[in-house]
Amino acid sequence: MEGFGAGKVILLGEHSVVYGHPALAGPLSYGVTARAVPAKRCQLSLPGTLSRPQRALLTRAFQRVATLCGEPGVKVTLESELPLSMGLGSSGALAVASTRVLLKAAGRDDSPQEVARLALEMEQEFHGTPSGVDHTTSALEKLLLYKRTPGQSTGRLKVLKSPRPLKVLVALVGDRSPTKHTVGALRERQARWPERYTRLFKQIGTLAAEGAKAVEDGDLEALGDAMNVNQGLLAALGLSSPQLEDMVYRLRGLGALGAKLTGAGGDGGAVIGLFLEPEPAVKKLLDDGVRCFSSQLAGPRAL
């Protein structure tokens, strides 16, 4: 028995989503798979390569969802195709995959909405109070305009239909500090200069709403432009770095309609470029030793 949790990219609106502004996010074709086999008691089997604190955290988070699912008698193993802690929603994907397989094993409702509701328990163990955009996008596997309910890790969402294939190139650069730290440091700046930061968050939220409309209109050029402007505002918020900027400009040079960091940002992490056809750029970057891949987030797929 298997459960899949997709990784995600935020096209527009990371960080400002924490403050109640909309974000545009879509699922990656890569993610985490949880596999369950019958066992005497409900348990998570982890690879020996993990550190003791990592094991303790994962076990605690798993136990929280296992309890809610009625502790079905299965042993669960996890396999991730996603790089961890790089801004691609690996923890949300892990939470969704585990929840999905446990609900299936328990013979319970495993609808995307129910998976999202319970996976939140696991996400909270990892992140405290996230905006909820990661695990929601992962569970629903749809392109979403997501708006957090203040103070909660849930929110209102609109599923978007794209008349055109929405393809991104994802490139990984450097190392990244945990999301918690980046979000916390920004919160301190925001508390010190609230008007300035609130203004920037609001502008990013407007870009996300404009980007959603551009998607529905099939106007990828307008979406790409919103991504470029969003990158400028993320840099203004202190969330970019020379390494991330270099990659943003590289992707634009390779023909991206828009490029920006995605996820929490900081010193390193993931950069996305919106491309009509990303494969030539993927090939060029791989030849140059850059870790990267492409994924279609929404829209009609070639047969």
Among 110, 121, 125, 134, binds ligand PMV (CB under 6 A): 134
CB closest to ligand PMV, residue no: 263
Q: Decide: is 17 part of the binding site for ligand PMV (CB under 6 A).
A: yes
Q: Is 229 in the site for ligand PMV (CB under 6 A)?
A: no
Stretch that binds ligand PMV, among 13-21, 51-59, 201-209, 278-286 (CB under 6 A): 13-21
Strand order in the sheet with 269-275: 258-262, 269-275, 166-173, 291-298
Please tell me the distance from the alpha carbon of residue 222 to that of residue 252, in angstroms, as a whole number: 15
Q: Which CB atom, from 106 or from 292, has the smaller least distance to ligand PMV? A: 292
The nearest distance, CB 179 to ligand PMV, in angstroms, is: 4
Q: Does 179 bind ligand PMV (CB under 6 A)?
A: yes
Q: Kindly tell me which residue out of 3, 6, 12, 14 binds ligand PMV, with binding defined by CB under 6 A.
A: 14
Per CB under 6 A, the segment of 10-18, 61-69, 213-221, 252-260 that binds ligand PMV is 10-18
Buried b (16+ CB within 10 A) or exposed e, 187-207: eeebeeeeeebeebbebbbbb
Whole-number minimum distance, CB 264 to ligand PMV, in Å? 4
Q: List the structure tokens of 46.
A: 């982890």
- Only one of the segments 31-39, 95-103, 127-135, 160-168 lies at the binding site for ligand PMV (rule: CB under 6 A); that segment is 127-135
Task: Pick the stretch among 14-22, 49-57, 201-209, 279-287 that binds ligand PMV (CB under 6 A).
Answer: 14-22
Q: Is 155 in the site for ligand PMV (CB under 6 A)?
A: no
Q: Residue 66 in contact with residue 41, Cβ under 8 Å?
A: no
Which residue, among 157, 187, 195, 200, has the nearest Cα to 22 in the 3D structure?
157
Angle at alpha carbon of residue 189, lines to 182 and 10, rounded to 5°: 40
275 vs 47, 206, 210, 231, CA distance in Å?
37, 22, 19, 16
Nearer to ligand PMV, 205 or 224 (CB): 205
Tokens of 272: 């996305």
CA distance 222 to 216: 11
Under the binding rule (CB under 6 A), the answer on residue 18 touching ligand PMV is yes
Binding site residues, ligand PMV, CB under 6 A: 14-15, 17-18, 87, 89, 130-131, 133-134, 179, 183, 263-264
